[in-house]
A and B are shown apart, each in its own frame.
Chain A
Amino acid sequence: MAPDGTARVLEAGTVPRATGRSVRVSSLRRLARRRSTIAFVMTLPLILVIAGLVAWPAAWAIYLSTLNRRMTANIGLDNYLILLESESFRMIIWQSCFFAITAVLLKALIGFWLAHMLHHIPTRGQRKWRGMLLIPWVIPPALSTLGWWWMFDPSYSSINWLINVFGFPSIPWLGTPWWARIAVIMVNVWYGAPFFMIMYLAALKSVPEQLYEAAAIDGATSWQKLRFITLPMMRNIISITVLFSLIVTFANYDIVRVLTNGGPRDTTHLFATYAFQVGILSGNLPRGAAVSLFMLPILAVAAFFILRGVTRRVKEVG
């Protein structure tokens, strides 16, 4: 959105200083007015979507969360207080944070590693490998999680079959809280790591080759190249991707819904699945809204830093 030449001319025209050329100025002004009218009409659908389907519902959610169950009286922050007082909700907060942070770290590390490995092999083969490794990201997660669910099946688990082949005992994947938590994280990492890989690969490709050549001449080891060239050059994209993924992972719904549905004994619920259970299934919409609004602080912080990173990036690129 850099200023374009025509826009500057027209903007100058909208501030009529040269009264001697009033005819030209007024026609220019009319043109400008028409242009901004056109622009407004063109963006109107977008504004309607953002205002009517995102901003208004978000504000409505905040209001809704202050109502009582039957939505007849305003009870202030009681919904939040009731939630915070309950032992099970405190565990959901803990589980959501544990899930999101572990999953994002693993996705970022695996993605970074694979991007590096891809970057190292001859360019001709990269396309094929990249195409293959992005498959988990392409399949709708609700459907691929069904496959995982079947692989975790208590009596027919194909993963346990492999584990048994190597002589280890079967794992009760979705039966005990900790294994269920690990299973949910595993599926999320499986689904999300390819995204990180693609992002980091694109970033790696944009690091100028001369920097590495110069470092090689100076006798830098590969660790030094990584530490002093790759990481600084990719810092921005790494932080944007991690923060973005943090939001998406915190807000994750489908994997938990399909794999465990919150069980065993509500130990794998995240904010989203619990909000769904409380709000839609138990019919307590206000409290469900309160549950989902617990995501807002982390969302706001991450969004702030992402926006800063993206604007900085735009400035760098030009």
Chain B
Amino acid sequence: MTAAAATRDFPRFYGKVGSLHRERLWALRLSYASLILAAIIFLAPPVYMLITSIKTNAEMANQSLNPWLVRNPTLEHYMAILGNPVFLTFFKNSIIVTLVVVAITMVISVLAAFALSRMRFWGSQVLATGVFLTYLVPDTLLFIPLYQIVGGLGLLNSIWGLVLVYPTLTVPFCTWIMIGYFASIPKELDEAALIDGATWPQMLLKIFIPVALPGIIAATIFAFTVSWAAFVYPTAFITRPEEMPLTIGIVSQLVRGDTFAWGQIMAGALLAALPPVVVYVFLMDYYIAGLTAGATKG
């Protein structure tokens, strides 16, 4: 660079410094403005659901009032929905299915991830790739053949049919992120254990599971939220209300022609959304770690 160019550049550079502070301030204001706008839009639907769920039917029907405000808050819709045995059955079904599926998923994926990340054997690399590919196969591609298979086993209209097929949603991703977590554990640790004469099961239980606990929590949260929110399979396989989990139960049973069931529908939907939201609120860091692990770990 010539001297002339340098002297021409310097004043401009210094001239900028004065405005740098102001520029940053404006960038910060823009950031907060965007975030506030996004927060309003992102939170409006759940907030409106809450508003609807604590409104009286009369107030809801009055079109001259601002729908975003509540004048006489009431819990009648929550009372009604919690006193509805059908809704409680949905809740019970969701809890049973989710707990069993989470347990099955974690056993399958922790065992497989341990084997795939530490014991290289014939085809282990192919299998790891296969796990990732199955994660990419959507449930909407599989529900028709699975409908036949589940029907062939006589499990249509049964929560055990759901327990059978939900692992297709959870196992591939959980295995994939567990492989990532296990692979990040230093090799020196298992070498030390081997020298001390640990067996493979001991190594898994005493070293890998405790060390990779954050990963296990993240995977458990993922399996929980996915099986709780699953919608395609129950919609396809279950038509009897007694066997429905919450998602399809609320969508198909509470939504009837009646216009003013809205309060109850929203109360039911919010109660049904509560477990994953509570898990998220208390375990946010693990939740986000699991979310980003799929692409950033490997």
Residues of chain A whose beta carbon lies under 8 Å from any beta carbon of chain B:
1-7, 11, 35-36, 38-40, 42-43, 45-47, 49-50, 53-58, 60-61, 64, 110, 113-114, 117-118, 120-121, 129-136, 138-144, 146-148, 150-151, 155-156, 158, 161-162, 190, 193-195, 198-199, 202-203, 206, 219, 222, 237, 240-241, 244, 247-248, 250-254, 257-258, 271-272, 275-276, 279-280, 285, 288-289, 292-293, 295-296, 299, 302-303, 306-307, 310-311, 313-314, 317
A253: B residues at CB distance < 8 A: 139-140, 231-232, 235
Residues B63 and A156 in contact, CB atoms below 8 Å apart: yes
Residues A140 and B276 in contact, CB atoms below 8 Å apart: yes
* Residue B168, interface by CB 8 Å: yes
Give Cα A140 to B280, complex, Å.
12
Q: Which of A39, A131, A156, A289 contacts B124 (CB 8 A)?
A: A39
Q: Which of B28, B67, B122, B138 contacts A295 (CB 8 A)?
A: B138
Residues B144 and A289 in contact, CB atoms below 8 Å apart: yes
The 5 A-B pairs of least Cβ separation, nearest first, read A251-B138, A140-B229, A272-B140, A46-B112, A57-B145
B46: A residues at CB distance < 8 A: 135-136, 139, 144, 147
Q: Which residue on chain B has the smallest CB distance to residue A52? A: B149
Residues A140 and B140 in contact, CB atoms below 8 Å apart: no
A36: B residues at CB distance < 8 A: 119, 121-122
B67: A residues at CB distance < 8 A: 156, 158, 161
B292: A residues at CB distance < 8 A: 198-199, 202
Q: Give 10 pairs: A residue, B residue, CB < 8 Å, sorted on A.
A: A40-B115, A40-B121, A46-B111, A64-B148, A120-B27, A138-B276, A140-B276, A142-B247, A203-B296, A313-B296
Interfacial residues of chain B within 19-35, with CB under 8 A of chain A in the complex: 27-28, 30-32, 34-35
Q: Which of B66, B128, B142, B250 contacts A1 (CB 8 A)?
A: B128
Give Cα A120 to B243, complex, Å.
49
Give Cα A158 to B59, complex, Å.
13
A247: B residues at CB distance < 8 A: 136, 138
Q: Given contacts A43-B115, A143-B272, is CB(A299)–CB(B140) below 8 Å? A: no
Min CB–CB distance B81 → chain A (angstroms): 13
Q: Which of B120, B140, B276, B298 contacts A313 (CB 8 A)?
A: B298
Q: Given contacts A58-B137, A144-B273, A199-B292, is CB(A161)–CB(B66) below 8 Å? A: yes
* Residue B147, interface by CB 8 Å: yes
Q: Which of B34, B142, B235, B251 contacts A57 (CB 8 A)?
A: B142
Min CB–CB distance B254 → chain A (angstroms): 9
**Number of A-B pairs whose CB atoms are under 8 Å?**
318
Q: Given contacts A45-B111, A131-B284, A158-B68, is CB(A64)–CB(B137) below 8 Å? A: no
Q: Given contacts A46-B175, A120-B27, A303-B133, is CB(A132)–CB(B43) below 8 Å? A: yes
Residues B139 and A143 in contact, CB atoms below 8 Å apart: no
**How many interface residues does B have (CB within 8 Å)?**
110
B191: A residues at CB distance < 8 A: 4-6
Residues A150 and B49 in contact, CB atoms below 8 Å apart: yes
Residues B38 and A143 in contact, CB atoms below 8 Å apart: no
Residues A53 and B45 in contact, CB atoms below 8 Å apart: no
Residues A133 and B38 in contact, CB atoms below 8 Å apart: yes
Min CB–CB distance A1 → chain B (angstroms): 6
Residues B34 and A117 in contact, CB atoms below 8 Å apart: yes
Q: Which residue on chain B has the smallest CB distance to residue A254? A: B231
Give Cα A45 to B52, complex, Å.
46
CB 8 Å contact bits of B159-174 with A (1 = contact, 0 = none):
0000011011001100
Residues B39 and A258 in contact, CB atoms below 8 Å apart: no
* Residue B211, interface by CB 8 Å: no
Residues B251 and A146 in contact, CB atoms below 8 Å apart: yes
* Residue B219, interface by CB 8 Å: no
Min CB–CB distance B288 → chain A (angstroms): 6
Min CB–CB distance A305 → chain B (angstroms): 11
Give Cα A288 to B296, complex, Å.
36
A311: B residues at CB distance < 8 A: 298
Q: Which of B39, B168, B225, B272 contacts A129 (CB 8 A)?
A: B39
* Residue B157, interface by CB 8 Å: no
A40: B residues at CB distance < 8 A: 115, 121
Q: Given contacts A1-B120, A143-B273, A310-B295, is CB(A138)–CB(B280) below 8 Å? A: yes
Q: Which of A198, A252, A289 contacts B291 (CB 8 A)?
A: A198
Residues B265 and A117 in contact, CB atoms below 8 Å apart: no
Give Cα A272 to B115, complex, Å.
35
Interfacial residues of chain B within 33-89, with CB under 8 A of chain A in the complex: 34-35, 38-39, 41-46, 48-49, 52, 60, 63, 66-68
Residues B39 and A133 in contact, CB atoms below 8 Å apart: yes
